[in-house]
Amino acid sequence: MRRPSPLPPPAAPPRSAAAVEQASVGARDEQDGSGVILPLRDAGGSSDAVSDDLRAEGAGQPEQPAQPERPVGLLAVWRASRARRKALRAEVRRFTVRQRRRRALWVSAIGAILVVAGVTAAVAYSPLFAVERVRVVGAVQLDAGGVEAALASQLGTPLPLVDEAAIQDTLSDFPFVQSYTLEARPPHELVVRIVERTPIGAIASASGYSVVDAAGVVLAASTEPPAGEPVLDVRGGVDGDAFAAVGRVMRALPASIGDQVTAVSATSAFDVTLTLTSSSRVVWGSAEESAMKARVLETVMAARPADTVTEYDVSSPDAVVIR
């Protein structure tokens, strides 16, 4: 089988006379060694030449009038300013997200605490926690019912608003009250814990007998010697050193001995003497080592009862003398 012959090349497009002439001129120039000469313009005159060409091109067209610039209105300025502010706010919010979250957390926590505190205070100061009962604890020589009746003015008062000054004024009318504490027991109970004064004896005076404690506070008064209280014969009265020594001795005595004391005498702080129901005497001496003297005397009296002894001398607790 024979291979087909190649296709003929496409025919060249017809050229114009000017193109043929230019090609012939170029061929002549190549033959004589010279090239096409083009006019050159210097750098300084290029702009003038361009402007001259533009003027030549536009010479045949009519000139258009210049468009006047429109002034910018206030509305456009305001809109641009608002857009700028919005953009700035958006940037600020983007860079302060964590700070705003942290601030919101703190505000929420503080708000919750304030709400809880407010609700608690509102409930506590409301009639829901008003005093409906006053109970006195620790009264032995005092009449607890009488003290409770004297404090009835606090009934109906919310527990946080109990008037402590009024309670102090009321309890000051009871000489046996040495100290007290208040205890609120929600929802309606007020407890008054009282520490009573301990009487040590009765001091004779022109008007009768005055029961006093170790501090010299008068607890009661009567025209006759009070039952169960020793009579105190102390030089210098309740403000002297002798009375202070007697008070320390009487507070150191155990109940088994204190109940037997009928009289106490002292001319100074170093010669306290006790008289017992059996008419026997106890030479105590000074108030020094009173606790040890009380233990020694209790032991000696258990071995030698008071009705068999005239005198116990415990002024020197290491060497007790019995007569």
pLDDT in tens, 172-198: 999 899 999 999 998 899 999 999 999
Say if residue 3 is exposed, middle or buried (CB neighbours under 10 Å; 0-12, 13-18, 19+). Answer: exposed
Q: What is the mean pLDDT of residues 148-169?
A: 92
pLDDT at 261 over 50: yes
pLDDT of residue 54: 46
pLDDT at 223 over 70: yes
Of 47-56, 81-90, 137-146, the range with the lowest mean pLDDT is: 47-56
Of 82-91, 140-149, 267-276, the range with the lowest mean pLDDT is: 82-91
pLDDT of residue 12: 52
pLDDT tens digits, one per residue of 266-302? 999 999 999 999 999 999 999 999 999 999 999 999 9
Name the residue with higher pLDDT: 70 or 23.
70
Confidence bin at 91 (pLDDT 50/70/90) = confident
pLDDT at 229 over 70: yes
Name every residue whose Cβ is closer than 8 Å to that of residue 154 and which is 6 or more positions away in sequence: 131, 134, 162, 163, 166, 167, 190
Q: What is the mean pLDDT of residues 77-96?
A: 83
pLDDT of residue 62: 56
Secondary structure string (H, E, C) spanning the chain: CCCCCCCCCCCCCCCCHHHHHHHHHHHHHHHHCCCCCCCCCCCCCHHHHHHHHHHHHHHHCCCCCCCCCCCCCHHHHHHHHHHHHHHHHHHHHHHCHHHHHHHHHHHHHHHHHHHHHHHHHHHHCCHHHECCEEEEECCCCCCHHHHHHHCHHHCCCEHHHCCHHHHHHHHCCCCCEEEEEEEEECCCEEEEEEEECCEEEEEEECCEEEEEECCCCEEEEECCCCCCCCEEEECCHHHCHHHHHHHHHHHHCCHHHHCCEEEEEECCCCCEEEEECCCCEEEEECCCCHHHHHHHHHHHHHHCCHHHCCEEECCCCCCCEEC
Name the residue with higher pLDDT: 146 or 78.
146
Beta bridge partners of 16: none
Q: What is the mean pLDDT of residues 239-247?
A: 93
pLDDT at 66 over 60: no
Q: What is the mean pLDDT of residues 78-96?
A: 84
Beta bridge partners of 273: 265, 283
pTM (two decimals): 0.57
pLDDT at 45 over 50: no
Q: What is the mean pLDDT of residues 15-35?
A: 49
Q: To the nearest whole number, what is the mean pLDDT of the chain?
A: 82
Q: ∠ CA(238), CA(242), CA(244), 5° rounding?
A: 60
pLDDT at 124 over 80: no
Of 12-26, 85-99, 104-118, the range with the lowest mean pLDDT is: 12-26
pLDDT of residue 15: 55
